[in-house]
Amino acid sequence: MLKQNNDIASGPVKPASATRPFSFFEWMVARRYLGATRSGKGVSLISIIAFLGIMLAVAVLIIVMSVMQGFRAKLLEQMLGLNGHIFVQLQEDDNPDAFLPGLDSINGVVNAAPLIQAPAYATTPRGGEVALIRGMRQQDLIRIEELTKPENVIAGSFESFGAGRNGGNQIVIGVRLANALGVGAGDGVNLTTNGGRETALGRIPVTTKTYIVGAIFEVDNSQYDSSIVFMPYDQAKRFFAASGAPEQIEVRVADPDRFADLVPSVAEVVEGRRLTDWTRVIGPYFDALEIERNVMRLILMLIVAVAALNIITGLVMLVKDKTGDIAILRTMGATQGAIMRIFFLSGALIGVLGTVAGVVLGALFVTYIDGIEAVLSQLTGRDLFNAEIYFFQNIPAEMQLREVFTIAGWALFMSFVSTIYPAWRAARLDPVEALRYE
**Burial of 432 (C-beta count, 10 Å sphere; 0-12/13-18/19+):** exposed
Over residues 119-137, the pLDDT tens digits come to: 999 999 988 999 999 999 9
Under the banding of pLDDT at 50, 70 and 90, the label for residue 340 is confident
- Report the C-alpha gap between 226 and 232 in whole angstroms: 19
Which of 12-16, 44-48, 245-249 has the weakest average pLDDT? Answer: 12-16
pLDDT of 229 reads 93
Q: What is the mean predicted confidence (pLDDT) over 12-31?
A: 63
Q: What is the mean predicted confidence (pLDDT) over 393-406?
A: 85
Q: What is the mean predicted confidence (pLDDT) over 309-334?
A: 77
Over residues 47-61, the pLDDT tens digits come to: 788 888 899 999 999
Helix (H), strand (E) counts: the chain: 18, 12
- pLDDT > 90: percent of the chain: 25
Q: What is the mean predicted confidence (pLDDT) over 188-206?
A: 68
In what helix (H) or strand (E) does residue 192 lie, and over which residues does it extend? strand 188-194
Model confidence pTM above 0.75: no
Residue 198 pLDDT more than 70? no
Q: Which of 18-32, 195-209, 246-260 has the highest mean pLDDT?
A: 246-260
From 306, 279, 344, 290, select the one nearest 57 (Cα to Cα): 306
- Report the C-alpha gap between 348 and 412 in whole angstroms: 8
- Report the C-alpha gap between 383 and 391 in whole angstroms: 14
Residue 230 pLDDT more than 70? yes
- For residue 318, which phi and psi values (nearest 5 degrees)? -65, -45
Contact criterion met (CB below 8 Å) for 304 and 414: yes
Contact criterion met (CB below 8 Å) for 377 and 78: no
Say which residue, 200 or 306, is predicted with more confidence. 306
DSSP 381: T
Say which residue, 213 or 246, is predicted with more confidence. 213
Q: Which residues, 6+ apart, have CB-to-CB distance to 231 below 8 Å?
A: 133, 134, 135, 136, 167, 171, 211, 239
Residue 359 pLDDT more than 90? yes
